[in-house]
């Protein structure tokens, strides 16, 4: 069982966890798809540490800052999205995208509506057209990042129902669904706008700890502060 929510911890606390792990002979491994350091015993995991995206880890879990780190983020919800490009922690570009994709009475996105009612009406066709343009414009911006910069890591937050339209757009994404440098953003994104982009980027540069109940008995963390829940959609 998991004990409590993921918590923001200091670098010193993380280092102390590594020391305790080494003293107790526990196993530590780096899970690249989630950028996590996972500590386990012979039975199960005890601690999962979401590491700062701008840092890399040694075989023993020691962190060091990545040189020349290029990060591109994209967060998408029905009718609104935001992209951002960061170089060594500095935001150099961002753009918010909006589209008329939600049916006013039902509050349902046009994509979900098409699954049940089709696209015969003029209003539906208009919303569908805006939806297609919406994803094309997002991918055009991402392609621009890819062409102009040597992107180290792509970060994404996008509901699974939108993936076919995002990855199936007439303007292709600059990465595949299974790209090694594509990571799901592990924080809930309610409204992808400029303020959220700044907030998420700040969180991605922090260290977040999740403990199992057994792990809590081993790694006591009185100096931690709670962070937001991990995004359920991203299946972390």
Q: What would the CATH number be for the domain defined by 70-202?
A: 3.30.420.60
By the 8 A CB rule, do 57 and 30 touch?
Answer: yes
In which band, very low, low, confident or very high, does the pLDDT at 111 lie, cut at 50, 70 and 90?
low
CA 58 to chain centre: 22
The whole-angstrom separation of Cα 130 and Cα 137 is 10
Q: What is the mean pLDDT of the chain?
A: 86
CA 229 to chain centre: 12
Higher pLDDT, 104 or 204: 204
User: Per residue in 23-61, pLDDT tens?
Assistant: 999 999 999 999 999 999 998 999 999 999 999 999 999
In which band, very low, low, confident or very high, does the pLDDT at 100 lie, cut at 50, 70 and 90?
confident
Instruction: For the chain, give the number of residues.
Output: 236
Total Cβ atoms within 10 A of residue 12: 9
User: Per residue in 174-207, pLDDT tens?
Assistant: 999 999 999 999 999 999 999 999 999 999 999 9
The whole-angstrom separation of Cα 194 and Cα 134 is 17
Whether pLDDT at 117 is above 90: no
Q: What confidence score (pLDDT) does residue 189 get?
A: 96
Q: What are the extents of the domains in the chain?
A: 2-52+206-234, 70-202
Burial class of residue 102, CB neighbours in 10 A (0-12, 13-18, 19+): middle
Q: What confidence score (pLDDT) does residue 34 get?
A: 94
SS3 184: strand
Higher pLDDT, 233 or 55: 55
pTM of the model as a whole = 0.82
By the 8 A CB rule, do 12 and 26 touch?
Answer: no
User: Per residue in 7-16, pLDDT tens?
Assistant: 999 999 999 9
SS3 180: coil
Extended strands (E) in 78-146 = 80-87, 90-98, 102-103, 108-109
Nearest CA to 157 out of 208, 207, 83 is that of 83
The whole-angstrom separation of Cα 11 and Cα 17 is 10
H or E segment and range at residue 199? helix 194-204
Q: What confidence score (pLDDT) does residue 130 get?
A: 76
Whether pLDDT at 107 is above 80: no
The CA angle 75-79-83, to the nearest 5 degrees, is 30
The whole-angstrom separation of Cα 86 and Cα 92 is 6
């Amino acid at each position: 069982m998991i004990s409590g929510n993921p918590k923001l911890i200091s670098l010193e606390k993380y280092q102390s966890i590594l020391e305790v792990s080494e003293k107790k002979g526990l196993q530590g491994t780096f899970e690249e798809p989630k950028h996590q350091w996972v500590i386990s015993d012979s039975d199960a995991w005890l601690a999962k540490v979401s590491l700062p995206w701008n840092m890399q880890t040694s075989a023993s879990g020691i962190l060091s800052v990545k040189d020349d780190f290029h990060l591109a983020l994209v967060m998408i919800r029905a009718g609104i999205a935001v992209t951002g490009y960061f170089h060594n922690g500095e935001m150099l570009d961002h753009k918010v995208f909006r589209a008329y994709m939600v049916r006013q009475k039902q509050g349902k996105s046009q994509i979900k509506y098409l699954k049940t009612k089709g696209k015969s009406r003029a209003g539906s066709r208009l919303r569908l057209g805006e939806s297609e343009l919406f994803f094309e414009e997002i991918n055009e911006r991402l392609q621009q990042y890819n062409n102009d910069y040597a992107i180290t890591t792509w970060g994404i937050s996008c509901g699974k129902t939108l993936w076919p339209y995002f990855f199936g757009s007439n303007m292709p994404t600059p990465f595949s669904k299974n790209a090694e440098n594509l990571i799901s953003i592990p924080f809930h994104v309610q409204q992808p706008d400029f303020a959220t982009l700044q907030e998420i980027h700040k969180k991605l540069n922090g260290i977040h700890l999740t403990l199992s109940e057994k792990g809590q008995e081993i790694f006591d963390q009185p100096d931690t502060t709670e962070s937001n829940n991990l995004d359920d959609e991203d299946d972390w």
